[in-house]
Amino acid sequence: MSSHDQDPPQDHPEDHARSTSPRQGEGASASPRRISLPIVDEALAATETASGAVREQRKYWRSIAEKEGSPKLAAAALREFPPGASELPEVSRRSFMKLFGGGAAAAGLAACHPSDEQAIPFVRRPEEVTPGNALHFATAYGVEGYGRGLLVESHEGRPTKIEGNPDHHDSLGATIRYEQALLQGLYDNDRAKQLKHKDEPLSWNTFLGQMATLAGRHAADGGAKLRFLTDPTASPLQLELRKRILEKFPKAKFTSYSSIAGDGAADGLRLAYGKYVEARHELTRAAVIVSLDADFLGEGPESVRAMRQFASGRLPGAPMNRLYVVEPALTVTGMSADHRLRLRAGDVAGFALALAAELGRRPGFAQLAGIASGGHGVTAGDPKWISAVASDLIKHRGQSLLMAGRRQSAAVHAVVAALNAALDNVGTTVTYATPLLADPLSGPKALAPLAEEIAAGQVDTLVITAYNPAYTAPADLKFDKLLARVPNTIYCAAYEDETAAVCSYIVPAAHQLESWGDARATDGTISIVQPLIAPLWGGHTDIEILSAFLGEGDLGAYEVLRRSWAAKQATVPGATGEFDQVWEKWVGDGVIVGTETTPEAALTLDGAAIQQGLGALLAAGPKGGGVEIAFVPDYKVLDGRFANSAWLQELPDPVHKITWDNAALLSPAMAKSLGVEVERDNDTFSVLVIEYKDRRVHAPALIAPGHADDSITLALGYGRTGSESVADGVGFNAGLLRGSDAPWFDRGAQVSLATGMHLFGLTQNHWSMENREPAIATSLADFENPRSEARELIEERRAALPTIHEPHDYSKEQYKWGMAIDLGKCTGCSTCIVACQSENNIPTVGRDQVVRGREMQWLRVDRYYSGELEDPEVIVQPLACVHCETAPCEYVCPVNATVHSDEGLNEMVYNRCVGTRYCSNNCPYKVRRFNFLDFTSETPAVRRLGMNPEVTVRSRGVMEKCTYCVQRIERKRIETRVAGRLIEDGELKTACQQSCPAGAIEFGNLNDLKSRVTKAQGDERRYDLLHELGTRPRTAYLARVRNLNPELAKG
Amino acid sequence: MLWARTPYARAMETPIEQPLEFDHRHHTRDEGIDCRYCHNTVDKSSFASIPPTQLCLNCHSQVWNKSPLLEPVRKSFIDNKPLVWNRVYKVPEFVYFNHSIHVGKGVGCVTCHGRVDQMAAVEKQTPLTMGWCLECHRNPEKNLRPVSEVTNMTWHAEGDAEESGRVLAEKNDVHTRTSCTTCHR
Q: Where are the beta strands (DSSP E) in A964-1023?
A: 1001-1005, 1022-1023
pLDDT greater than 60 at residue A4:
no
Of A891, A874, A678, A791, whose CA–CA distance to A68 is shortest? Answer: A678
Mean pLDDT of chain A: 88
| Sign of the alpha-carbon dihedral angle for B31, B34, B35, B37 | negative
- Nearest by CB to residue B181, choosing from A111, A131, A907, is A907
Cβ-Cβ contacts under 8 Å, A131 against chain B: 41, 45, 47, 49
Mean pLDDT of A848-853: 91
Mean pLDDT of A474-501: 94
SS3 B37: helix
pLDDT tens for residues A506-565? 999 999 999 999 999 999 999 999 999 999 999 999 999 999 999 998 899 999 999 999
| Highest averaged pLDDT of the listed ranges A402-411, A804-813, A936-945 | A402-411
pLDDT tens for residues A13-37? 333 333 333 333 333 333 434 444 5
Residue B166 lies in a domain: yes
Residue B181, C-beta contacts closer than 8 angstroms, at least 6 positions apart: A901, A905, A907, A963, A966, A969, A970
Domain count, chain B: 1
Mean pLDDT of A933-939: 86
Mean pLDDT of A243-247: 96
Whether residue A114 and residue B124 make contact (CB cut-off 8 A), yes or no, is yes
The alpha carbon of residue B47 is apart from the nearest alpha carbon of chain A, in Å, by: 6
Q: Where are the beta strands (DSSP E) in A7-126?
A: 60-61, 118-119
Mean pLDDT of A473-494: 94
Distance of CA A525 to the CA centre of its chain: 23
**CA–CA separation, A470 and A328 (whole Å):** 28
pLDDT greater than 90 at residue A286:
yes
Using only C-alpha atoms, chain B has a radius of gyration, in whole angstroms, of 18
For domain A766-799+814-1042, give the fold: Alpha-Beta Plaits (3.30.70)
Task: Count interface pairs A-B at CB distance under 8 A.
Answer: 137
pLDDT tens for residues B141-174? 999 999 999 999 999 888 888 889 999 999 988 9
Q: Which of B87, B171, B180 to mutate to test the interface with A (most CBs of A within 10 A)?
A: B180
Distance of CA A697 to the CA centre of its chain: 25
Residue B171, C-beta contacts closer than 8 angstroms, at least 6 positions apart: none
pLDDT tens for residues A866-915? 888 899 999 999 999 999 999 999 999 999 999 999 999 999 999 999 99
Question: Which class in CATH covers the domain with range A196-257+441-520+531-571?
Answer: alpha beta
Question: Which class in CATH covers the domain with range A278-433?
Answer: alpha beta
Closest residue in A to B128 (Cα–Cα)? A112
Point out the least confidently predicted range of A84-98, A817-831, A873-887. A84-98
Cβ-Cβ contacts under 8 Å, A911 against chain B: 94, 184
Closest residue in A to B49 (Cα–Cα)? A131
Q: Which whole-number Å values give the CA distances from A84 to A26, A27, A96, A652, in the listed order? A: 10, 7, 17, 20
pLDDT greater than 50 at residue A789:
yes
The values of phi and psi at residue A154, to 5°, are -130, 125
Cβ-Cβ contacts under 8 Å, A124 against chain B: 52-54, 80
**DSSP secondary structure, B38-82, as one string:** HSTTTTTSSS-PPPPHHHHHHHHTTSSTT-GGGHHHHHHHHHT--
Residue A694: burial class (beta carbons within 10 Å; 0-12, 13-18, 19+):
exposed
pLDDT greater than 80 at residue A772:
no
pLDDT greater than 60 at residue A111:
no
End-to-end CA distance of chain A: 60
In DSSP terms, A529 is beta-bridged to A517
Let me know how many helices (H) and strands (E) chain B has, helices first.
8, 1
pLDDT greater than 50 at residue A8:
no
User: Does B181 contact A at CB distance below 8 Å?
Assistant: yes
User: Does B112 contact A at CB distance below 8 Å?
Assistant: no
Angle at A764 between CA A761 and CA A765, to 5 degrees: 95
Element (H, E) at A943: helix A941-944
Report the CATH number of the A623-762 domain. Answer: 2.40.40.20
pLDDT greater than 80 at residue A38:
no
**CA–CA separation, A38 and A46 (whole Å):** 12
| Orientation of helix A264-273 relative to helix A410-422, angle to 10° | 50
- Nearest by CB to residue B52, choosing from A121, A899, A907, is A121
Contact A1016, A801 (CB under 8 A): no
**CA–CA separation, A211 and A230 (whole Å):** 18
Contact A378, A350 (CB under 8 A): yes
Whether residue A132 and residue B41 make contact (CB cut-off 8 A), yes or no, is yes
pLDDT greater than 90 at residue B21:
no
A148-155 and A135-141: which strand pairing?
antiparallel
Residue A649, C-beta contacts closer than 8 angstroms, at least 6 positions apart: A636, A637, A643, A659, A660, A726, A727, A730, A844
Look at chain A and count its residues: 1051
Q: Which whole-number Å values give the CA distances from A775 to A769, A825, A864, A1020, B22, in the listed order? A: 11, 13, 8, 15, 65
- Nearest by CB to residue B94, choosing from A124, A903, A911, is A911
Residue A384: burial class (beta carbons within 10 Å; 0-12, 13-18, 19+):
exposed
Cβ-Cβ contacts under 8 Å, B55 against chain A: 125
Using only C-alpha atoms, chain A has a radius of gyration, in whole angstroms, of 29
In DSSP terms, A492 is beta-bridged to A507
**DSSP secondary structure, A644-693, as one string:** T-HHHHHSPPTTT-EES---EEE-HHHHHHHT--EETTTTEEEEEEEEET
Residue B71 lies in a domain: no
pLDDT tens for residues A248-276? 999 999 999 999 998 899 999 999 999 99
- Nearest by CB to residue A121, choosing from B43, B83, B93, is B83
More confident of the two residues A488 and A113: A488
Of A349, A352, A323, whose CA–CA distance to A337 is shortest? Answer: A323
Residue B73 lies in a domain: no
- Nearest by CB to residue A967, choosing from B85, B180, B185, is B185
Look at chain B and count its residues: 185
Name the DSSP letter for residue A116: S
Residue B107 lies in a domain: yes
- Name the B residues in 53-72 with CB < 8 Å from any A CB: 53-55
- Nearest by CB to residue A909, choosing from B53, B90, B180, is B180
For chain A, the domains span 138-186, 196-257+441-520+531-571, 278-433, 623-762, 766-799+814-1042
Of A733, A736, A224, A696, whose CA–CA distance to A477 is shortest? Answer: A736
Mean pLDDT of A114-132: 82
Residue B58 lies in a domain: no
Residue B67, C-beta contacts closer than 8 angstroms, at least 6 positions apart: B60
A684-692 and A872-879: which strand pairing?
unpaired
**DSSP secondary structure, A877-922, as one string:** EEE-----TT-HHHHH-TT--EEE-TTS-EEE-TTT-----HHHHH
- Nearest by CB to residue B85, choosing from A119, A132, A966, is A119
Q: Which whole-number Å values give the CA distances from A682 to A655, A677, A686, A707, in the listed order? A: 16, 10, 11, 17
Side chain identity at residue A783, one-letter code:
F
Closest residue in B to A125 (Cα–Cα)? B52
Mean pLDDT of A629-643: 95
Name the DSSP letter for residue A611: H
pLDDT greater than 80 at residue A85:
no
Of the pLDDT bands very low, low, confident and very high (cuts 50, 70, 90), residue A103 is very low
In DSSP terms, A720 is beta-bridged to A728
Q: What is the pLDDT of residue B143?
A: 93
Distance of CA A802 to the CA centre of its chain: 43
Q: Which whole-number Å values give the CA distances from A653 to A64, A330, B97, in the listed order? A: 17, 12, 39
3-state helix, strand, coil in chain B (%, to 5): 40, 0, 55
pLDDT greater than 50 at residue A115:
yes
Residue B7 lies in a domain: yes
Of A513, A492, A485, A419, whose CA–CA distance to A183 is shortest? Answer: A513
Residue A576, C-beta contacts closer than 8 angstroms, at least 6 positions apart: A582
- A42 conformational bin, left if phi > 0, alpha if psi -120 to 50, beta if neither: alpha
Q: Which of A974, A981, A983, A990 to mutate to test the interface with B (most CBs of B within 10 A)?
A: A974
In DSSP terms, A291 is beta-bridged to A325, A403
The ipTM (two decimal places) reads: 0.93
Neighbour tally for A110: CB within 10 Å: 14
Q: What is the pLDDT of residue A113?
A: 47
Q: What is the pLDDT of residue A13?
A: 36
Q: What is the pLDDT of residue A939?
A: 84
Q: What is the pLDDT of residue A100?
A: 44
SS3 A159: strand
- Name the B residues in 29-48 with CB < 8 Å from any A CB: 41, 43-47
User: Does B133 contact A at CB distance below 8 Å?
Assistant: no
Point out the least confidently predicted range of A518-532, A596-610, B6-20. B6-20
Element (H, E) at A154: strand A148-155
Mean pLDDT of chain B: 90
Tell me the residue range of the domain where B165 lies: 3-17+92-182
Whether residue A978 and residue B104 make contact (CB cut-off 8 A), yes or no, is yes
Closest residue in B to A113 (Cα–Cα)? B10
Mean pLDDT of A932-950: 90
SS3 A279: strand
pLDDT tens for residues A981-1001? 999 999 999 999 999 999 999
pLDDT greater than 80 at residue A769:
no
Neighbour tally for B171: CB within 10 Å: 12
pLDDT greater than 60 at residue A1049:
yes
Whether residue B88 and residue A970 make contact (CB cut-off 8 A), yes or no, is no
Neighbour tally for A589: CB within 10 Å: 16
Whether residue B179 and residue A951 make contact (CB cut-off 8 A), yes or no, is no
User: Does B184 contact A at CB distance below 8 Å?
Assistant: yes
**CA–CA separation, A215 and A513 (whole Å):** 29
Whether residue A125 and residue B91 make contact (CB cut-off 8 A), yes or no, is no
Contact A953, A979 (CB under 8 A): no
Q: What is the pLDDT of residue A541?
A: 94
**CA–CA separation, A619 and A374 (whole Å):** 12
Contact A829, A654 (CB under 8 A): yes
